[in-house]
Amino acid sequence: MLKETIFINLVKLKSDTKLMGNALLLRIKKCLCFSIVIFCSCGHTPRPLPDLNQYQFKETRDLISFVKEAAELFSKKGEDAFIEFGKEGSKWFSGKKYIFIYNSSGDCIFHPVLKDLIGKNLLDMKDLNGKPIGQLIQSIASNSQKPYGWIHYLWAEPGEIFPSWKDAYIIGVKGPDGKTYAVGSGTYNIRTEIKFVVDVVDSAAKLIQKRGKEAYNHLLDEASIFYFYNTYIFVLSTNGQLLADPSFPTNIGRNVIDFKDFTGHMIIKEMLEKLKKEDVVYLPYMWPAPGQDNPSKKLIYARKVISGTDTVVVGSSLYLMDPIWEKF
């Protein structure tokens, strides 16, 4: 944040073209000295924090704020904060709303509901699809560039037999002892955010850039981060050949450029045309939700990916639930 302050101050000075000569130099010196002195006086650079403006739904933003506040409290008090986190009926522990904390080795050090987990190493914990929850938590918390993020996984609610989709938000934070911890909380059946889809598509694009066609099988694996709710990754050639798509496995290798939505809209053709001029596209269309006869509003997010000498299109889609439709 302080580095950003220095940058903003410089930009403001640059835009002020009316200042001339010594007056401008004096203002630059004062501005830089003030910002740099403050920055250097800090013990360490603050870790990046999430931007709530990227999320559409209030329940999503509330969960992020909840974990962020807990992480800040734990960074100051360490294990002394457990008394507050574990007080039932408080802001930290109410019904299905609570905080859990793991250390950098994957040991659970706090959990107010499943207390038998405390002290156990959960690095190898997986969901019913085999998704490595424990490893994903540690991967997020230990990322120095972006120590926060989501995990979507299948989990049975306490007292329930059948699993439901659960979404956990994780923040990596330094405790008073200087060590890194994962602070998180989760909720069941949250509404799918556009940001969720953008994140998995962008991650898929990076994987394809790195591994090429070898990445396709991993993208289709239900145990990967690329599979949750009704969300999945598809890969197309730039001429419309389907290269990967778990929803239409029998169409792999076929050209689907003439594919139409429920209203006759040729969405694949339009998407590929737009990607000739742009690197990323958002494309609305109509399609029935699972188990429904009438169409619902959906949105495709897709991007071009260059891997070696090949250029492909990777994307995903989601059903839109609020009148954000007009934005696209």
Contact predicate 188/96, CB 8 Å: yes
Q: What is the DSSP string of 47-72?
A: PP---GGG---HHHHHHHHHHHHHHH
307-319: burial string, b at 16+ Cβ within 10 Å, e else: beeeebbbbbbbb
Predicted confidence (pLDDT) at residue 30 exceeds the cutoff of 50:
no
Q: How far apart are CA 318 and CA 233, in angstroms?
A: 11
pLDDT in tens, 241-290: 999 998 888 889 999 999 999 999 999 999 999 999 999 999 999 999 88
27-41, 186-200, 231-245, 299-313: which range is least confident on average?
A: 27-41
Question: Which architecture, in CATH terms, is 194-327?
Answer: 2-Layer Sandwich (3.30)
Predicted confidence (pLDDT) at residue 328 exceeds the cutoff of 90:
no
What is the homologous superfamily of the domain 52-188 according to CATH? Answer: PAS domain (3.30.450.20)
Are both 52-188 and 194-327 of the same fold?
A: yes
Predicted confidence (pLDDT) at residue 168 exceeds the cutoff of 50:
yes
Arithmetic mean of pLDDT over the chain? 85
pLDDT at residue 16, rounded to an integer: 40
Query: 44 phi and psi, to 5 degrees?
Result: -155, 160
Predicted confidence (pLDDT) at residue 17 exceeds the cutoff of 50:
no
Domain boundaries, the chain: 2-40, 52-188, 194-327
Contact predicate 271/281, CB 8 Å: yes
Q: At what angle do helices 21-40 and 2-15 cross, to 10 degrees?
A: 170
Which residues, 6+ apart, have CB-to-CB distance to 162 below 8 Å? 156
Helix (H, G, I), strand (E, B) or coil at 325: helix
Q: How confident is the model at residue 47 (pLDDT cuts 50, 70, 90)?
A: low
Which pair of structure tokens corresponds to residue 67? Answer: 């974990």
Alpha helix stretches (DSSP H) within the chain: 2-15, 21-40, 58-77, 82-85, 133-141, 194-211, 216-219, 267-274
Which pair of structure tokens corresponds to residue 157? Answer: 């609610």
Q: How far apart are CA 147 and CA 11, in angstroms?
A: 28
pLDDT in tens, 195-245: 999 999 999 999 999 999 999 999 989 999 999 988 899 999 999 999 999
Helix (H, G, I), strand (E, B) or coil at 96: coil
Long-range own/partner contacts, residues 16-19 (CB < 8 A, 24 or more apart): none
Contact predicate 315/302, CB 8 Å: yes
What is the CB-side half-sphere exposure of residue 275 using CA atoms within 13 A?
27
11-15, 73-77, 78-82: which range is least confident on average?
A: 11-15
Contact predicate 189/163, CB 8 Å: no
E runs forming strands in 119-179: 148-155, 164-174
Q: How far apart are CA 198 and CA 169, in angstroms?
A: 16
Long-range own/partner contacts, residues 204-211 (CB < 8 A, 24 or more apart): 204/233, 204/314, 204/316, 205/303, 205/305, 205/314, 208/235, 208/305, 208/307, 208/312, 208/314, 209/305, 209/306, 209/307, 210/307, 211/307
Which residues, 6+ apart, have CB-to-CB distance to 276 below 8 Å? none
